[in-house]
Structure formats: C-alpha cells, structure tokens
Structure 1
Amino acid sequence: MLAVDTPEQAAAEQQIDALATLCKASADPLRLQVLRVLSRDSFGVSELCNLFDMRQPALSHHLKVLAGAGLVATRREGNSIFYRRSELGQRPELEALQQQIFRTVDQVELPEALRDNLSALQRQREENSRTFFHHNAHKFREQQDLIASYEQYADTVAQVLRDAPLQRFDSALEVGPGDGAFLRELAPRFQRVIALDNAAAMLERAQTTAAKADLDNIRFIHGDTGSSELDGLQADCIVINMVLHHTPEPRQILQDVARYLAPGGVLLLTDLCQHDQGWARENCGDLWLGFEPADLTAWARSAGLDDIASVFLAQRNGFQIQVRLFGRH
C-alpha cells in the first residue's frame, strides 16, 4: 500500500515549500534591490523598468517570483499594475523571516545610478502634478466633484476636529488647502494657521477665499512639506484633506508633517480608499487611486503617530472616503 500523508505531514511539507520559495525569491541581488526600492513607495512596471534599465519581460519575471513568495503585492490602476512591498506574508509562521529580510535590505545603500533614477522619477511625478493644477486651478471644484465634492465630507471632517482630544489651540497647519474652504473651520479655532501649497495658482485661490471671509490669522506659504519656512513649527493640529493621492511620496509627507506636530497634537487626514477608477489620473491629476486604510495606519505608525479614530464615508458613485485622526505618542 502507498503511504498516505497525515494532515500534519502535509502541513509540514507546505511550510517547507513556502520557506524554500521565500528563500529562493530573496536569493537574487536584483530582487533584493527591487525590495529596497519598494520600501517607501509603489511603482508601475514601466517605472521599475526605467529605474533598473531593464526590458519589461525580464523584470516581470523577477516581480512574478517576488509576488509568488508573498514579498510584494499588486494593485491594478486602469491598465497598469503597481507593485508595493507586502508587509504581511502569505504564511504567518514566515512573517518574522520576511520582516527580517526587509529590515536587512533597508540597511543597504542604493547604488548611485539607482538613486539618481529615483530622484528623476520623483521630480517627474511632482512636475506632472504641479502642471495639472496649474492648468486646472480654475476648475478645481469641478474636477474634485467628479469623485467627492467638499460638501460630502466637510461636516464629518469638521466634527472629527471638534471631537479631537486637543488641549491647545495655538497653531494649525493645513497642507494643500485647495480653494481654502476648510480654512474657514481652522481659522476661528486656532490662534495662528499656516496654509501650505506647492501650486501657486491654488494658493492664490485659498488666499482669495480667506480674504472674502475676513480671516486675518492665516500665513500662506508657497512650498512643500520640506520647506525651510516650516522649521521649528510645533502645530497643535495638522490637516491634510484629499491631498495625498496627488503626491508622489505620500509616506514621506507623513514623515515630514510628524516633525511639525507638537506633543499632544493631532493629524487630521482625509483621503480616498483604494479604488480602480483609472480615469481619475488624467481627469483629476491623481497619482494614487486611493489608499488601503492599513497602509495609512502603517505609514503613520512609522512616523511616530498613533491611530485615534477613523470614519468611513461611502459615496453614491462608488468611491469611499476615509477620515483619519492620528496623534503624537
């Protein structure tokens, strides 16, 4: 008679196979470089081909191996597939090994040529975003309304702000204030407000809104979250409403703003949940098709912030908005 594996033996064999797959996938210099690059961002296949100066069939093979081992996850955006590191492996018993691989590879410095390619890609992403808003500032509300109009989430965001466990109301920072609508909520509640935007045309619209509402405690800064004009800022509240999906490095934005948050302060973040409506890239200037809530939580935690509260708003057009409140621990 043929021996029949017991359930325990079958499970052990599956575990050994999974371990072998994980070890094989991580035993290639190029694949380790890919994991290193994916540590802070997600990239489309064509972007990765440009970064590594490789043809797509060759790189796709390596990505398939990484995905098969559970080291990378994919998401489809229109006709494109984007890759990111998978923080949770396919098998819980191998998660510790996977995390150790990530931690080890993250300590390795990227080659200069690859760093240059990454910088060039980020500059192109930023330029694409600025160009879109420069040419479409006059249509801001119209473009925004295609997905989620301000009125659909404004009351909820304002209520989360009112319920936030704040002890001080000295200063607030809004990153990407758009046409300035939420400044009307911030200015009466805080002694000083900073409105920061890297698109001059949008900052002008926010200034016009503030002037019409007689809001005279707002300082307007043309720049990004790395601006030297923010040095030394300790804000009691930082607001980022529907901005991250327009930015090339959302995780870095959270790292930046966490430096400006005072002890006991809160970060109020509103953005789209992940979706598959690729048309939003061309029509609305979106660089990301929303975010998984778990990704925002992980990025905030790595920036030293705790998850305080979350509200999810379903839209009639199928989109979902997440309103998140994080605090400094």
Structure 2
Amino acid sequence: MNQSLPSNPDELPLLTDAVELETPLSPLANLLKAAGDPLRLEILRVLSQDSYGVLELCRIFSIKQSGMSHHLKVLANAGLLSSRREANSIFYRRAYLSPDHPFASLQQQLFASLDLLPIAEHLRAPIIELQQERSQAAQQFFSENADKFRAQQDLIASYPVYAEQMTQLLNNTALRDKKLALEVGPGEGEFLAVLAQQFNQVVALDNAANMLEKAKKFAQDNHLRNIEFIHGDTQSLPGHKVLADCILVNMVLHHTPSPADIFQDLSRALAPAGALLICDLCRHEQDWARDACGDLWQGFDPQDFSRWAKAAGLEEGQSVYFALRNGFQIQLRQFFKPTNF
C-alpha cells in the first residue's frame, strides 16, 4: 500500500532541515564549498610548494587574523589543508588524500588546475619578502655561530652518523658521468674529501661566508685541489653555469626558507641522467632545535620530498631511513633527472 504525503503543507519537512542532515555526500559538499571561494583558492595556490603560518598568510593576503583563521579552518575541515606545529607557530600546507580515498582524484585535479594559474601579482612581493626574512634568519644564525657549528650539529646528528650511509648511497648510485659534483651547504667540508676522490671537479656552494671559509680551510689542510667554492644560494647557480652529474645536500634543507624551491633550482643544475642525493631529518617534535641549531623546519615527511621532486621533474630512486639514539630519524633520498628532460 502506497504511503500518501501529508495533506497539510506545514507537516512537510523543511528543505533547510534536509540540507543540514549528514549524508554520504556531506564531505563532498564540504570540499566543494571550501573550494568555491576565490580567496580560499588563492590560499591553496600560494600553498602549492610551501607552508606558511597564520600570521605569514595574513601578511601575504593583507587580511585580519580572525578572517584568515576562518578560511584555514574551512579548508582544513574539507580535507584540503593540513597543519603542523613548528615551535610556537602552526604552519599550514596542502593536504594530500590517500590514493584510495574517494575524493583523491577530485582533490588532485583541483590542485593541478590551480597550479596551471600564476600566483596573483600583488601576492608575489610579500611572498618574496617572507622568504628573504627566513633566509636572512638562517644566514645570521650561521654567521654568529660558525665556531659552534660542530657542537650544535652534534646535538642532532653528528657528521660520522650519516656520512657512512651517504657515502654508501653515493657509491650505489649509477651515474653516466663523474665530471662534476655539487655539494650544497658543505658545512666544515668533510664530505668534500669523498667527492674530490670520485669526481673530476667539485663545487661547494654556501650562502654563509663564515661556513664557506671553514670548508675552504678543510680543503686546503687536506690538499683537495679540484674544488671550486661559491658564495651564494641555489638561485645563483645558473650564473656560474653549473651543470652537475651529482648534487648532494647533507642536513641542509631544514635550514632553508623554501625547500620546494631548492628542488626546482637543483633540478635545473642537474645534467640529464644526473642524481640528486639528500640527507635530512624526518619530521620531529623537538622544538628546541629551532633555537639551538638554527632550524627553520622540524624535519620533513618523506612525502614532502617525493612531491617536491616530482614537481621539479625528477624521478625517485632509493630511500634509506634510520633512527638515532636521541630520537631523531634520518632519511636518505635518491632522485634522478630523466635523460630527456
């Protein structure tokens, strides 16, 4: 027997009541609503290859903290952003759903479409200003603490702890040529000795003059004569016409203002079939490392490196992970530049 509708219109359910009911489509509706605002789309675009704190985003977009916090909450609740604490600040970045999630394809297509569009012109200046401030903070730390570098580095991971593993990874990396190797941020220069034995020419790049002098002294004391020293950052590499067969970045990225940009710069400095080898910290919650060791980032999730490398046109190779007694974890990563890139 068919059930008839109520004859009195007042007995019919309100449409607003139906809309507010949780249904299997509610999460999808939340995602679409979150992405249906121009400002929130701009925020997602800016967070493409970097993470920013709430106050930094307020500076970039010139809006009040209460308004920015609202938009970030909406995006986070929709699964488009994730947050993580760095000391006393909370940084936001894009969230990435697992491949088997029903909305993963939609989310990735949204991000891919956003990334085809340029960042708005009026947002570029404050972004550059923030990155310069981060870079200057790191440079100032190493300028003021160059003489304490070894002791501070040893608080987290001393050179011998990762040098053997990194040397093994280098030895296991099949390279088409060994004409030129580049080490970014060579510290006191110990790994330059390994590279000088395996490559015809080695370039040591550092944006901290005091640290570069320490690396030079190490090279002189150990009679390493095939090393060129460049005072600058990765953006300066094209001016020096560096095209490396292998690039190494040992325990450096957590000191850099925009690690994703480093991947882009180094991809351009790699010869076809060249390799990028990275050693750095896994994500951790040791807040003291920021002040004691000049860290800008509390390590990285492995997916961060994979995503940044892919965006820079690099292919993933081997990965090695190992834990230290002090609770830190180290990740060693290998990436290759395609021969046709």
* TM-score normalized with structure 1 length: 0.92
Question: Which residue in 2 is equivalent to 1:17?
Answer: 26
Q: Aligned letter for 2:288?
A: W
Name the counterpart of 2:38.
Answer: 29
Q: Tell me the secondary structure at the aligned position of residue 84 of structure 1.
A: strand
- Counterpart Cα distance in 1 of 2:245 and 2:190: 20
Is residue 65 from structure 1 mapped to residue 68 from structure 2 by the alignment? no
Q: In the aligned structure 2, how far is the partner of 1:267 from the partner of 1:156?
A: 15
> Deviations 1:296-318 (Å, cap 9, x if unpaired)?
01111111211111111201111
The change in CA–CA distance for 1:322 and 1:89 in structure 2 (over 3 A counts) is closer
Give the whole-Å Cα distance in 2 for the aligned partners of 1:28 and 1:89: 24
Mapped partners of 2:23, 2:314: distance in 1: 38
Match of 1:300 among 309, 318, 333: 309
Q: How far is 1:90 from its partner?
A: 9.7
1:257-268 superposed matches below 5 A: 257-268=266-277
8 Å CA contact 2:283, 2:299 repeated in 1: yes
Is the CA contact (8 Å cut-off) linking 2:237 and 2:269 kept in structure 1? no
- Note the C-alpha offset of 1:76: 1.4
Task: Assess, with a 3 A threshold, how the Cα gap between structure 1 residues 91 and 72 changes in structure 2: closer, same or farther.
Answer: farther
Q: 1 CA distance for matches of 2:282 and 2:305? A: 10
Give the structure 1 partner of residue 224 of structure 2: 215
Q: Give the whole-Å Cα distance in 2 for the aligned partners of 1:240 and 1:221.
A: 15
Residue identity (%): 54
Residue 260 of structure 2, aligned match among 246, 251, 260: 251
Which deviates further from its counterpart, 85-94 or 302-311? 85-94
CA deviations 1:121-152 (Å, max 9, x no partner) are 11111111111111011111111111111111
Please give the secondary structure, in 1, of the residue aligned with 2:279: strand
Distance of 2:237 and 2:163 partners within structure 1 = 30
Contact 1:69 1:90 in 2 (8 A): no
User: Aligned match of 1:176 in 185, 195, 199?
Assistant: 185
Aligned to 1:286: 295
Deviation at 1:91, TM superposition (A): 7.3
* Separation in structure 1 between the aligned mates of residue 237 and residue 180 of structure 2, nearest angstrom: 18
Is 1:206 the counterpart of 2:215? The answer is yes
In structure 2, distance between residues paired with 1:79 and 1:137: 26
Change (3 A) 1:21 1:327: same
- Following superposition, the deviation at residue 89 of structure 1 comes to 6.3
Quick check: 160-169 or 319-328, which moved more?
Answer: 160-169
Contact 2:87 2:290 in 1 (8 A): no
Q: Does 1:102 align with 2:111?
A: yes
Aligned to 1:4: none
Match of 1:277 in 2: 286
1:224 CA displacement: 0.9
- Kept in 1: contact 2:277–2:335 (CA 8 A): yes
- Per the alignment, residue 114 of structure 1 pairs with 123
CA RMSD of aligned residues (A): 1.6
Query: Could you tell me whether the CA contact under 8 Å between 1:70 and 1:89 is conserved in 2?
Result: no
Letter in 1 for 2:276: L
Structure 2 gap ranges (5+): 1-21
TM-score (norm 2): 0.89
In 1, Cα distance between equivalents of 2:244 and 2:138: 26
Letter in 2 for 1:108: L
- 3-state SS, counterpart of residue 108 of structure 1: coil
Between structure 1 and structure 2, the one with the greater Rg is 2
Cα separation, partners in 2 of 1:21 and 1:263, compared to 1, 3 Å = same
Aligned residues: 317
CA distance in 2, matches of 1:108, 1:229: 25
Task: Return the offset for 1:217.
Answer: 0.1
CA contact (8 A) 2:97 2:103 kept: no
Structure 1 range deviating more: 235-244 or 164-173: 164-173
Closer, same or farther: CA 247–152 of 1 in aligned 2, 3 Å:
same
Distance in 2, matches of 1:91 and 1:171, equals: 42
Distance 1:268 1:91, change over 3 A: closer
Q: SS of 2:315's equivalent?
A: strand
1:168 deviation in Å?
1.8
Q: CA deviation at 1:108?
A: 3.2
Matched residue SS, 2:235: coil
The aligned counterpart of 2:196 is 187
Instruction: Pick one of 299, 302, 314 that aligns with 2:323.
Output: 314
User: Displacement of 1:53 after TM fit?
Assistant: 2.0
Instruction: Report the counterpart of residue 227 of structure 1 in structure 2.
Output: 236
1:147 aligns with 2:151: no
